[in-house]
Amino acid sequence: MAQNFPLTPNASPLTGMKKFEKPIYITKPFMPPLEEFTEGLKEIWDNQWLTNSGPLLQRLSGAMSKFLDIENLTLFSNGTLALQIGLQGLGITGEVITTPFSFVATTHALYWNKIRPVFCDIEPDFYTLDPQKVEAAITPWTTAILAVHVFGHPCNLEALADIARRHNLKLIYDAAHAFGVKVGGKSIAQYGDLSMFSFHATKIYHSIEGGMLVFPDPSLRTEVDYLKNFGFKNEVEVVMPGTNAKMNELQALMGLHVLKYLPALIEKRRTLADRYRQRLKAIPGIHLPPQPPAGVDYNYAYFPIEVDEQEYGMSRDQLYENLKKYNVFARRYFYPLICDFACYQNVPVTDPLEVARGVAERILTLPIYFDLELEQVEGICGLIEFRSGFVRSNV
């Protein structure tokens, strides 16, 4: 089975499994054809306009608006600053209920606004915030919920909206993983009071680095646009202590080109994810998230599995280390939990985070990207299947 992809000649004598010739990382940035990009560079050279709301940035804003079918959006130099500014623009203070099972920037954005994170548990299928536990975590100081569509899985949108409405809280989504996801035919950007998208090179859609805020209330626009440009209202008026978080023209050019390929990028990942599913579902101790529910158009941005040590016969960490020996670099996203990083260890946590702690111990995210080949997926699955070989080769 593992014979149709490039292998090194030195197979492991104990397992018969061979090492991939070149390392396979968890992801790879999609590069649009160079000729297309250089055409665009000529335009930037002609314009002699590199940043500060240039013509390409405006074109990308228009394209995004059309793509998401939404009016109010604004582009940023990266997703982290976008989220920080979004929280500030909405005037969030006090406590915010959030998930510990995410990339650390989700909580950092709260910290930079002097907001206290209240870590709340996730649900076991899709790893998004558990609405019941969110409701239990509300205090008189709670002002918002900051939920994450982790791995591109939509949060429980209705339940969270209902809680937010009943308790008069803002509902904010870190949608860094969810670009291209639709729910009920609508872009996921159309839910909540604010969504942040990241266009970092490692994400499914990218502009080298970049970010975006999307929101239904048009009056938020002026504020966040001031905040990302030092608080300038015009040449002579600075109306707030803003920062610098503007997207530049080269980022916008990349964003415009990658956007054209997004449907193809999602489709390719779908075929890879299907193959992973077919091959892994029968392996005892390897658990896959359920298929997204009806009505969700998923983006297949990540392929997480859970490793049950008892059933599989090997721990997640052993599997992770062993895959590395065969040149497969999976990642333990998201481990450790955010609340366990040194900088957040003194934040009081009342929720036992039972589900999140278990998932963080078992989770492994497998390589998935536009030019990963089905044969390579077969090879990776073969390595996961032949766990007994790993155990022996370790002795």
Ligand X SMILES: *Cc1c(COP(=O)(O)O)cnc(C)c1O
Residue 68 or 75: the one with the smaller Cβ distance to ligand X is 75
What residues from 229 to 258 belong to the interface with ligand X (CB under 6 A)?
Answer: none
Helices in the chain by DSSP H: which ranges? 34-47, 55-68, 79-89, 105-111, 131-136, 157-167, 220-227, 249-280, 309-312, 316-325, 354-362, 374-385, 387-394
Residue 142 or 365: the one with the smaller Cβ distance to ligand X is 365
Residue 15 or 78: the one with the smaller Cβ distance to ligand X is 78
What backbone phi and psi angles, to 5 degrees, belong to 172? Answer: -120, 135
Position closest to ligand X via CB: 79
Q: Please state the closest distance from residue 335 (CB atom) to ligand X, in A.
A: 14
Q: Is 365 in the site for ligand X (CB under 6 A)?
A: no
- How many residues of this chain bind ligand X (CB under 6 A)? 14
Q: Please state the closest distance from residue 193 (CB atom) to ligand X, in A.
A: 17
Q: Closest Cα partner for 149 from 250, 243, 79?
A: 79
Stretch that binds ligand X, among 14-22, 115-123, 172-180, 381-389 (CB under 6 A): 172-180
Burial annotation 135-169 (CB, 10 A radius, 16+ → b, else e):
bebbeeebbbbbbbbbbbbbbbbeebbebbeeeeb
What residues from 45 to 84 belong to the interface with ligand X (CB under 6 A)?
Answer: 78-80
Among 211, 304, 367, 379, binds ligand X (CB under 6 A): 211
Q: Which residues contact 3 (CB under 8 A, 6 or more apart)?
A: none
Helix 55-68 to helix 249-280 angle, to the nearest 10 degrees? 40
Q: Closest Cα partner for 100 from 365, 358, 318?
A: 358
What residues from 81 to 120 belong to the interface with ligand X (CB under 6 A)?
Answer: 102-103, 105-106
Q: Is 187 in the site for ligand X (CB under 6 A)?
A: no
Q: Is 299 in the site for ligand X (CB under 6 A)?
A: no
Q: Which residues pair with 213 in a beta bridge?
A: 74, 196
Q: Is 200 in the site for ligand X (CB under 6 A)?
A: yes
Place of tokens 């976008």: 82
Structure-block tokens of residue 317: 């960490």
Q: Please state the closest distance from residue 391 (CB atom) to ligand X, in A.
A: 33
DSSP 204: S
Residue 14 or 104: the one with the smaller Cβ distance to ligand X is 104
Q: Please state the closest distance from residue 255 (CB atom) to ligand X, in A.
A: 12
Interior angle at CA 86, CA 150 and CA 296, nearest 5? 35
Burial annotation 323-338 (CB, 10 A radius, 16+ → b, else e):
beebbbbbbebbbebb
Residue 103 or 226: the one with the smaller Cβ distance to ligand X is 103
Stretch that binds ligand X, among 17-25, 117-125, 171-179, 339-347 (CB under 6 A): 171-179
Residue 195 or 376: the one with the smaller Cβ distance to ligand X is 195
Q: Which residues pair with 146 in a beta bridge?
A: 98, 172
Within 13 A of 305's CA, how many CA atoms are on the CB side? 28
CA–CA separation, 58 and 255 (whole Å): 12
**Strands of the 286-287 sheet, one edge to the other:** 286-287, 303-307, 363-366
Stretch that binds ligand X, among 35-43, 169-177, 184-192, 381-389 (CB under 6 A): 169-177
Binding mask 147-166 for ligand X (x = CB under 6 A): -x------------------
Among 123, 174, 225, 351, binds ligand X (CB under 6 A): 174
Residue 24 or 82: the one with the smaller Cβ distance to ligand X is 82
Q: Please state the closest distance from residue 70 (CB atom) to ligand X, in A.
A: 19
Interface residue list for ligand X (CB under 6 A): 78-80, 102-103, 105-106, 148, 174, 176-177, 198, 200, 211
